[in-house]
Amino acid sequence: MPQIPTLGLGTFRLKDQQVIDSVRNGLELGYRHIDTAQIYGNESEVGRAIAESGVPRSELFVTTKIWTDNLGADKLIPSLKESLHKLRLEQVDLTLIHWPSPKDEIQVAEYMAAVLEAKAAGLTAQLGVSNFTNAHLQQAMEVVGAEQIATHQVEIHPFLQNRKVVEFAREHGIHLTAYMPLAYGKVMTDPVIQEIATKHAANPAQVALAWALQQGFAVIPSSTKRANLESNLGALNLTLSDQEMAAIAKLERGERLANPDFAPQWD
């Protein structure tokens, strides 16, 4: 399976001209992995920015996510075709099940089989999941096989390290993508992270991203500012010591930022 580029560009909350600018700036600066979702309401703008960038399709890695309304066997593939139309692509690189079906109204087996069918039909090169509990991931593996699951995208940052989910995925050889890796900007004001940043002549965002990258996670920070997009790429050149990694590990405080009322019973 082709590797998921380790540092991608998030697009949650970004709409209209703001998302066009962010994706355009990101592509100019060298980002090649763009993370969108049906529910973000920005796939058309992401598609436009990609088309206008002139970056060859073969260099890009585009992820979208199937919204919970579209998890039924009759809806998933048509909804993905609509996403492709908006994105102006014939195939996305990765399609994620965005959330397990609220209250498990639709069974894991149904939507995992549908996304596997989408892959077989060439609509997506790879498939994966997001916001799954370990029980959901177990079921997904039983339906499609662990080797089919290219990544599990979950909230991971210094204040919510999601260790049970990370351990379970690792036991089964499943790659992880850390979403909200900057804790939506909160890492900037943490004194421990600030001190480590100062030692490396870096900034706290770079430290938080390096901390996640060093654990083997892909990261998908977002920014509306070109300067921040550029500086976040600097995380790829930052190596933290074992002591620094351990100091950040101690910042765990169960601070979950993405917790909608339809979320599953978290591990």
Ligand X SMILES: NC(=O)c1ccc[n+]([C@@H]2O[C@H](COP(=O)([O-])OP(=O)(O)OC[C@H]3O[C@@H](n4cnc5c(N)ncnc54)[C@H](OP(=O)(O)O)[C@@H]3O)[C@@H](O)[C@H]2O)c1
Binding residues for substrate, as ranges, are 98
Strand order in the sheet with 9-10: 9-10, 33-35, 61-66, 92-97, 124-130, 149-155, 176-179, 218-219
Q: Which of 190, 207, 232, 238 is the binder for ligand X (CB under 6 A)? A: 232
Question: Considering only 45-53, 72-80, 108-116, 225-233, which stretch makes contact with ligand X by CB under 6 A?
Answer: 225-233
Determine the Cα–Cα distance for residues 101 and 106; give it in Å rounded to an integer. Answer: 6
Q: Say whether 40 is catalytic.
A: yes
By the rule CB under 6 A, 35 interacts with ligand X: yes
By the rule CB under 6 A, 151 interacts with ligand X: no
By the rule CB under 6 A, 153 interacts with ligand X: yes
Point out the residue whose Cβ comes nearest to ligand X.
10
Least distance (Å) between residue 34 CB and ligand X:
9
User: Are 130 and 97 spatial neighbours (Cβ–Cβ below 8 Å)?
Assistant: yes
DSSP string covering 222-239, please?
Answer: --S-HHHHHHHHGGGG--
N-term to C-term CA, the chain: 28
- H or E stretch including 150? strand 149-155
Least distance (Å) between residue 118 CB and ligand X:
18
Active-site option among 40, 111, 179, 184 = 40
Q: φ, ψ for residue 253 (rounded to 5)?
A: -145, 20
Q: Which of 228, 247, 263, 267 is the binder for ligand X (CB under 6 A)? A: 228
Residues marked as binding? 98
Nearer to ligand X, 120 or 228 (CB): 228
Under DSSP, the state recorded for 180 is S
Residues 6+ apart with CB under 8 A from 257: 155, 160, 180, 183, 184
By the rule CB under 6 A, 128 interacts with ligand X: no
Nearer to ligand X, 10 or 26 (CB): 10
By the rule CB under 6 A, 97 interacts with ligand X: no
Nearer to ligand X, 139 or 177 (CB): 177
By the rule CB under 6 A, 224 interacts with ligand X: yes
By the rule CB under 6 A, 72 interacts with ligand X: no
Which residues within the stretch 159-218 sit at the binding site for ligand X (CB under 6 A)? 179-185, 188, 205
User: Are 151 and 176 spatial neighbours (Cβ–Cβ below 8 Å)?
Assistant: yes
